[in-house]
A and B are shown apart, each in its own frame.
Chain A
């Protein structure tokens, strides 16, 4: 879904709501400064880049339907073979923990026949022409697209670079290229018993033309792709404190800024008294901006103390002043009337009435999903330095590079290509670092513009983060569904009420159709269960409270509502929850496949002791198929504990099985953690939570055992970052339902008193 809208925005420019036209340059950005870049990634000025002198072939994604990305190999954009025999693979996607730097390097290294020990990863510079996400049209990471998007491009790049090394060796040895082999980073001519390393051939290979056609390996010959014990490239630097995040950037003369923002969403600065703040030792300056009041100081502590000493009066004329209870009451009122149609098949109303009249069962459910913060461990931050020649350099865990370039360019009045981005390891994101307005980057650039004397590090505190919006929306679902007398699902009516985070952004034109934001109904309007009479509609409500995609987006609530309803319907029909689903998934082999695998591995159907429950859920998101079976304990006081989760996942060809496993483990923790206790609530428009003492993260003692089973597949690879989330919470809810008979329809579970 996401890719349609962003491609549209990239091709057509951002409209009235996004970046003003003056700041947008749809043309290609300039190539990066290679010399500076090579220095930055530490391979030195003497490094040789294969193919670096060649002109860029035009992007041809649409013209090559069988592959994603350009039709011809572009090794020069992605692979650097240095004289020191290292191979650096440039990642155009942000690694925020999902392991994509490792995954992308694996894909290229496989075709290159590099030895894993010589492979390094680095983040590509910001350059839309070289590094656009082919699904988005702009450089950016999201929607679990990275492997799917880079799969062809990096295999071809690796194969082309390999062919060039082979050609260089053949030329030096004066032997036919066909007699030259490559294995584990060594180029050999067996007949004459000669061999050379990649590093020894780099200079000669760089002078050769890039082959326009390459032959890719047979999957049976893979030595890196699919290997279960290939270590992550960041596993050492992230265990000894040397990995550098944006938070760790220290530029000469750098100052730190924190920003006072309106405590109510939509509020603006009315007046500022900064006299006391300016007296705080270490405070350098206080600047008022459209987005708030920035305190600039010698260090973070002084900046925080300075902000505490500020007196800001806010104008709430346009602010949200309702609490979340009042907002929910308004949602319920809206849900009384039909919404904009998202799916309409048959006659759901009649089918449900008929079922009721003829011995079937009707089940009704109202589901409430709270606002949720992403709260990545590394609070949002960015360092911005104005460049002497114009533009700026941004150090950030950048997830939407092209958007950030355009926003920064607009603020500074420069060209987007004058905005350089040094992407850093990101301490989590879960969607938060990719915003259509580049929010925190924009803040940092505005402060740097107001205080041009030194590089500025804008730091969000945790309180800024928890209270700062861009939440998973508050969502209400009302569902009425029926099974007939035979126990077949015959009718399904669903109404969804929530905010659209696409409305009012450059993405609205593509993502909002007939008044319905596709991300609000994904997973509901396209329900896999074959119900002949389906009616899904939606009400889009407006509020100054800012919302955003949040790990697995609409599926966070649609899969939950659907799967909990399915268990209630199975019970009404007198059917086993797995059997009920299996009979409906006959035409969905991959969904049926993960459901069957998870059920088998979990021991579905075996009797459980008193107080133990087992629940299941299955769903497709981001073209990946996942089923969860959860085991829970319910104690005498009705308190629940999740004991074990079994996950089955089908994400096509798996590049790194251990990373897929890690994503499923983390996805389970993410899904359960938020279902247990997390919610953002507001009183009179002010957020009630502030930090991890009130927005309660999953901790070690909450974490169940997680078993992951991957379906072997040679289908095209899809994603793993998000799809591990949607089904885990409903599986837990269904496990509790199996014990208590009470469906859990209001989240978080702590609201129902079953979690302390």
Chain B
């Protein structure tokens, strides 16, 4: 019975799933090309300018990431990211709005209709007039998440690998220096183009963090859906909650009073660059709360999965005890 429900749910989402996987895959492939361009052409060019004009590189970054630029930096991973390093730049993709929006839309869109959508469409009557225990429906949705979320993450990993294969090694492109004065060119060319190291071996860790985020959003949305009878109302509430958390997390990085609220958001526990580049799986809650650094550290991935599981349990409790109203 559960497998029949799972097969039906997977059948329902197969086309949207294919589209989202394809979008993530293609974006990841494209992002490798962007990373290649920035790290092998743009960054060396700016580095050269900085060196020859005796300007400190940090000073350039300060100007670039001031004002609205600081928001971009906050959204894309904070001050720890070195944009001239290919691996760092590739890691930025995991926080790119395209990836966040696609994953969030997927998680909210699928779970938002799980209960309230079925009631809204009137198909819940059809389903629940069969001898299907209500908890089996929630279980089926959990299994679908367990199948689908890894697929989304694997699409990103596969897209990056295809991009790397298509792009080839990250070698500084000195052709961009052709228009510079000969004296400057000779200094640069004396050392020859450098091969920049690319290490995607740890990307799976970021993907696991992303899976945790998607599962947490899905679980919370399912809980909202279990209360409702209108798909759109449930979606509205879920989007409000998720967008609210996203904004608190971003604004909190820029404005200290809001920063204390960051640990209350799911996005605080989504730090794919720290996980991938530093192997850091713990979120420093103490630092965010203005306490001592490292005083309170929570494991990000288990916490996100725990939130997802709590959402599912909440949804189970609500759905098994509530009345099933007639469709609107």
* A and B: interacting chains: no
Residues of B whose CB lies within 8 Å of any CB of A are: none
